[in-house]
Structure 1
Amino acid sequence: MSTVAGSTVAGSTFVRVGGVAHHAVVAGSGPVCVLAAGLGMSWFDWDPVAALLTPYRTVVRFDRPGHGLSQAGTAPPTAEGEADRIAGVLDALGLGAGLGAGPVTVVGHSIAGFHAEAFARRHPARTAGLVLVDSSVEEHPHPVRPAPALARGLGALLAAAGIPAALGPAARALSVRRSTRRRPGPDPAPRDLVRRVYRTSRVFRGTLDENAHYEAVAAQLLALRGTAPLPPGLPVTVLAAPDGSARWERRQRALARRLGARYEAVEPSGHLMMLDAPQAVARAVLRTP
Structure 2
Amino acid sequence: MSGTERQRPPGRMLRVGGVPLHVLCEGSGPVCVLSAGLGMGWFDWEPVVPLLTPHRTVVRFDRPGLGFSAPPLGPPTAAAEGARIAGVLDALGLTGPATVVGHSLAAFHAEAFARLHPERTAGLVLADPSVEENARPVPGIELRTAAAHVRGRAFAAAGLPRVLGPALRRYGVRAASLTRADAAPDDLVRRTYGTGRVVRALLMENARYYDVAAELEDLRAHHALPPAPVTVLAASTGTGSARERRRLERCRALAERLDGRFEAVAPAGHLLMYDRPQAIAAAVLATPFIRA
Q: Secondary structure of 2:219's match?
A: helix
Corresponding residue for 1:128?
122
2:160 maps to 163
Structure 1 position 7, deviation (Å): 6.3
TM-score (normalised: structure 2): 0.92
Gaps of at least 5 residues in structure 2 are none
1:254-276 Cα distance to aligned partner (Å, 9 max, x none): 00000011100000100000000
| One-letter amino acid of the counterpart of residue 208, structure 1 | L
Q: Distance in 2 between matches of 1:201 and 1:5?
A: 23
Q: Distance in 1 between matches of 2:9 and 2:159?
A: 28
1:239 aligns with 2:226: no
> Against the structure 1 CA distance between its residues 5 and 155, is the aligned structure 2 distance closer, same or farther, given a 3 Å change threshold?
farther
- Between the aligned partners of 2:233 and 2:281, the Cα distance in structure 1 is 11
1:118 counterpart residue number: 112
Aligned residue type for 1:162: G
| Residues 241-266 of structure 1: CA deviation (Å, up to 9, x unaligned) | 13341010010000000001110000
Percent of aligned pairs with the same amino acid: 59
> Which of 166, 174, 179 is 1:182 aligned to?
179
SS in 2 for 1:48: coil
1:178-203 residue CA offsets vs partner (Å, 9 max, x unmatched): 000013xx322112111111110000
**Equivalent position of 1:192 in the other structure:** 187
Does the 8 A contact of 1:7 with 1:192 survive in 2?
no
Alignment correspondent of 2:89: 90
Q: Find out whether 1:211 has 2:206 as its counterpart.
A: yes
Cα deviation, residue 70, structure 1? 0.3
- Check conservation: 2:65, 2:198, Cα contact below 8 A: yes
Is 1:79–1:115's contact at 8 Å kept on the other side of the alignment? yes
Per the alignment, residue 62 of structure 1 pairs with 61
Runs of 4+ in 1 over 4 A off after TM superposition: 7-10
Alpha-carbon separation, structure 1, partners of 2:220 and 2:126: 16
Shift of 1:140: 3.4
Q: Over residues 80-107 of structure 1, what are the superposed CA-to-partner deviations in whole Å (9 max), with x where a residue is unaligned?
A: 1100000001101111x2xxxx200000
By how many angstroms is 1:205 displaced?
A: 0.4
Task: After superposing the two structures, state which structure 1 stretch, 16-25 or 143-152, moved more.
Answer: 143-152
Unaligned runs of 5+ in 1: none
**Residue 91 of structure 2 aligns to which amino acid in structure 1?**
A
Distance 1:209 1:282, change over 3 A: same
Q: Does 1:229 align with 2:228?
A: no
Any residues of structure 2 matched to 1:75-86 within 5 Å, and which?
75-86=74-85
> Which position in structure 1 is the counterpart of 2:70?
71
The structural deviation recorded for 1:75 is: 1.2
TM-aligned CA distance change 1:254 to 1:4, over 3 Å? farther
For 2:248 and 2:67, the matched residues in 1 are separated by 30
